[in-house]
Amino acid sequence: MGKIIGTAGHVDHGKTELIKALTGIDTDRLSEEKERGLTIDLGFAYIDLEKSGRIGIIDVPGHERFLKNMLAGVGGMDVVILVIAANESVMPQTKEHFQIMRLLGVKDVIIGISKIDTVDEETRFIVKEEVQDLIHNTPYEDSPIVEFSSVTGEGLSQITEVLDERVSKIRERGSKNQFTRLAIDRCFELKGIGTVITGTLLSGSIEEGEEIVILPPGHKTKARQIQEHNVRKNKVLAGERVAINLPGIEKRMVERGNIISKEGQLSQTDRLLVLIEPVKETGDIKDLTRVRIYLGSGEYLGRLELIGKRKVSSDKKFISFLVLEEKIIALRKDKFILRMYSPMKLLGGGLILDAFPKIKRRFSQDALKEVEKLIDASDGDTLLFYLHGSHLPGENLRKRMQLPPAEFKSICDILLKDGSIVILGDEIFSSNALEAIKKDIIERVDRFHKKNPLKKGLDKEGLRTALDIERNIFDLLLSSMVEIKVEKNYVKLSHFTPQFDEETSKRKKRILASLKKNPFKPDKLEEDDLIRNLVGEGEIVKIKENMYFHRDAVEQGEKLIREAIEKRGPLGVSEIKDLLKTTRKYIIPFLEYLDRIKFTVRKGDLRDLWEREI
């Protein structure tokens, strides 16, 4: 089962001794730790529980100087045993570790009062009261309190029973249809094997032989060999403690805090929109305060860019940008811890609202009100927020929401059903945005018709460019609008017909009558809106600049030329000129037009029918 137990508590309160008593494993692996009797870095073990099976354990250091090592491990824990020594009771690091657990949203806590063999009953009673004061009015106020001694063994069986009961009720992390994300907390080399990393698989799964990538550096490799608690496995799932042999990777290429994932699943970022819950002892927090960020198993540096304010107090939550000094892997809904850059005191905890924020005017009160909508937003609400009353390519939106395709699709399906969004091709529109765009198109085309009553319609490409919509999406949009009709490269209102005033109508009649009277010797015509309209409607045909034939003349000319060529074979210019009773001034442009439309084909000085040629 993919669940992790962890320890927390003040230095020398018996965390490591408890794990050794429960599992037989000494998690102090460094020689310095054994010499000093002090846990410096993360330690790892496992325990076999009756209901829950084999569960991983992470032992964290208690000394304040090694808090960053503690933070590298606590983020992946499901149940934490907060160890408090009966001979010292609640101490500064007890309180700090407890705050960190609360800020990170650790699912469950068990309070273990250790070293009960060193104190009397009255002291034990007082310590329990102090513990209850610590957890009062917190999410953990009903946490079980178990007294024990790692020396005499008293209470150890009860701790095991409580652990099994609490762990068995923890919901397992998602593996199916989830991004793969393993937070590396240790990297070492083994002779004859190569580089090995360990970490907690936060989501997804990894199979032996599968191609993986180390982020942010981007090193590609394979999971050559996988172990969980010293047992080789073909596949590991979310929530499990994992060791992976990485071929082709040197130890120097990997750092604590790096992420193991799969190609194309996760993107780097260095700017986050976050909700921060400060600890009350922090005092006022100023804009551009430099901070240390603890996310996953990594420690990073960055600055707070406040939104809507230059300074905030520490008595309530606030929204801010978090600008990092390096690219990292961070996901929406991730929780993290902040410490001041110097002195390194706890500032608070945070929740990522957006890993790729787009807001620019950060000191605007309107911007602050806008981003506050994300605080308790559902995935559907977040999607609509990212659309911002407009439209985006579906894949771009999915990547910004950092969701696997199946999960993203299910959210879209719900929003489609309730009418919040409309999908055209690969583009996702908020319903309001789509209606606004349609209204805009109708108004633009209507204005064009009123200003240009003789023109067939608005240039389609010009309209698309003005609206900034991809060509294929624009075509789908226009085809969905009953109010709009597209003809060739023009967009018009469906009911529109060119409107002629009395003088223009008279001129139209004169032009058509003249072209009919002199079918192959037409008068010169200057191009204007009326002429373009007559061409668009197919009543006249443009032969060349300022030369137009009536459509009947074109049809008659084609008929006469076809019959003559079929009877006599290819014809010369002079023969066709005589056939149509015209002059070279008109027949040469007309024959060039017929060549362009592939009615005729030129063979030297002769013309043949195109269809005879093919």
| Per-residue model confidence as pLDDT tens digits over 493-508 | 999 887 777 788 888 8
What's the CA gap between 575 and 589, in Å, rounded? 15
| Whether residues 304 and 323 fall in one domain | yes
Residue 511 in any domain: the answer is yes
Q: Is the pLDDT of residue 395 over 90?
A: yes
Beta bridge partner(s), residue 226: 244
| pLDDT of the residue at 71 | 65
What's the CA gap between 175 and 172, in Å, rounded? 9
Q: Which helix (H) or strand (E) holds 449?
A: helix 431-451
| pLDDT of the residue at 413 | 97
Q: How many CB atoms lie within 10 A of CB 420?
A: 17
Q: What is the CA radius of gyration of the chain?
A: 38
Q: Please state the rounded mean pLDDT for residues 279-285.
A: 88
Q: Is the pLDDT of residue 65 over 60?
A: no
Quick check: helix, strand or coil at residue 402?
coil
CB 74 within 8 A of CB 61: no
| Whether residues 240 and 339 fall in one domain | no
Phi, psi (rounded to 5 degrees) for 99:
-60, -45
pLDDT band at 283 (very low <50, low <70, confident <90, very high): confident
Residue 176 in any domain: the answer is no
The pLDDT tens digits of the residues spanning 328-344 come to: 999 999 999 999 999 88
Percent of the chain whose pLDDT exceeds 70: 93
Residue 472 in any domain: the answer is yes
Q: Which amino acid is at 172?
A: E
What one-character-per-residue DSSP string does 490-555 give? Answer: EEEETT------HHHHHHHHHHHHHHHHSTTSPPP----HHHHHHHHTTSEEEEETTEEEEHHHHH
Residue 540 in any domain: the answer is yes
Here the CATH number for the domain that contains residue 339 is: 2.40.30.10
Residue bearing the bigger pLDDT, 206 or 532: 206
pLDDT band at 34 (very low <50, low <70, confident <90, very high): very low
What one-character-per-residue DSSP string does 151-208 give? Answer: TT-TTHHHHHHHHHHHHHTSPPPP-TT---EEEEEEEEEETTTEEEEEEEEEESEEET
What's the CA gap between 441 and 27, in Å, rounded? 68
CB 10 within 8 A of CB 164: no
What's the CA gap between 228 and 585, in Å, rounded? 91
**Buried residues in 370-381 as b, exposed as e (16+ CB within 10 A):** ebeebeeeebee
| pLDDT of the residue at 251 | 93
What's the CA gap between 598 and 602, in Å, rounded? 10
Domain boundary among 499, 532, 550: 499
pLDDT band at 39 (very low <50, low <70, confident <90, very high): very low
Phi, psi (rounded to 5 degrees) for 468:
55, 55
| pLDDT of the residue at 538 | 86
Q: What is the pTM of this model?
A: 0.78
Tokens standing for residue 195: 């580089």
Residue bearing the bigger pLDDT, 38 or 20: 20
Residue bearing the bigger pLDDT, 457 or 454: 457
CB 259 within 8 A of CB 183: yes
| pLDDT of the residue at 505 | 84
| Whether residues 382 and 445 fall in one domain | yes
What is the number of domains present in the chain? 5
Q: Which amino acid is at 46?
A: Y
| Whether residues 62 and 10 fall in one domain | yes
Q: Please state the rounded mean pLDDT for residues 161-169.
A: 91
Residue bearing the bigger pLDDT, 537 or 472: 472
Percent of the chain whose pLDDT exceeds 90: 65
The pLDDT tens digits of the residues spanning 427-439 come to: 999 999 999 999 9
CB 210 within 8 A of CB 222: yes
Q: Is the pLDDT of residue 176 over 90?
A: no
Q: Is the pLDDT of residue 509 over 60?
A: yes
Domain boundary among 261, 287, 305: 261
Q: Is the pLDDT of residue 250 over 70?
A: yes
Give Dmax over CA atoms of the chain in angstroms. Answer: 129
| Whether residues 18 and 148 fall in one domain | yes
| Whether residues 383 and 366 fall in one domain | no
| Whether residues 246 and 113 fall in one domain | no
| Whether residues 489 and 553 fall in one domain | no
Q: Please state the rounded mean pLDDT for residues 517-532.
A: 91
Q: Please state the rounded mean pLDDT for residues 220-225.
A: 94
Task: To the nearest 10°, report the CA torsion of 386, 392, 395, 400.
Answer: -20
Quick check: helix, strand or coil at residue 291?
strand
Here the CATH number for the domain that contains residue 25 is: 3.40.50.300
| Whether residues 193 and 240 fall in one domain | yes
Residue bearing the bigger pLDDT, 259 or 359: 259
Domain boundary among 222, 243, 261: 261
User: Tokens 């149509």 belong to which residue?
Assistant: 580
| Whether residues 399 and 419 fall in one domain | yes
CB 432 within 8 A of CB 386: no
Residue 453 in any domain: the answer is yes
Q: Is the pLDDT of residue 40 over 60?
A: no
Residue 199 in any domain: the answer is yes
Residue bearing the bigger pLDDT, 146 or 231: 146
| Least trusted range by pLDDT, from 113-122, 153-162, 532-541 | 532-541
| pLDDT of the residue at 558 | 94
User: Of 265, 257, 251, 175, whose CA–CA distance to 213 is shortest?
Assistant: 265
Q: Is the pLDDT of residue 510 over 90?
A: yes
What's the CA gap between 336 and 76, in Å, rounded? 11
| Whether residues 160 and 76 fall in one domain | yes
pLDDT band at 452 (very low <50, low <70, confident <90, very high): confident
| pLDDT of the residue at 432 | 93
Mean pLDDT computed over every residue of the chain: 89
The angle that helices 121-135 and 92-104 make with each other, rounded to 10 degrees, is 40
| pLDDT of the residue at 69 | 64
Residue 237 in any domain: the answer is yes
Expressed as residue numbers, the domain containing 287 is 269-374
Tokens standing for residue 84: 């408090």
User: Of 527, 588, 519, 532, whose CA–CA distance to 559 is shortest?
Assistant: 519
N-term to C-term CA, the chain:
73
Here the CATH number for the domain that contains residue 576 is: 1.10.10.10
| Whether residues 185 and 228 fall in one domain | yes
pLDDT band at 31 (very low <50, low <70, confident <90, very high): very low
User: Tokens 């730790």 belong to which residue?
Assistant: 33
Task: To the nearest 10°, report the CA torsion of 274, 280, 286, 289.
Answer: -60
pLDDT band at 212 (very low <50, low <70, confident <90, very high): very high
pLDDT band at 591 (very low <50, low <70, confident <90, very high): very high
CB 144 within 8 A of CB 110: yes
The angle that helices 431-451 and 471-479 make with each other, rounded to 10 degrees, is 80
Beta bridge partner(s), residue 188: 196
Residue 588 in any domain: the answer is yes
The pLDDT tens digits of the residues spanning 294-307 come to: 998 899 999 999 99
| pLDDT of the residue at 30 | 42
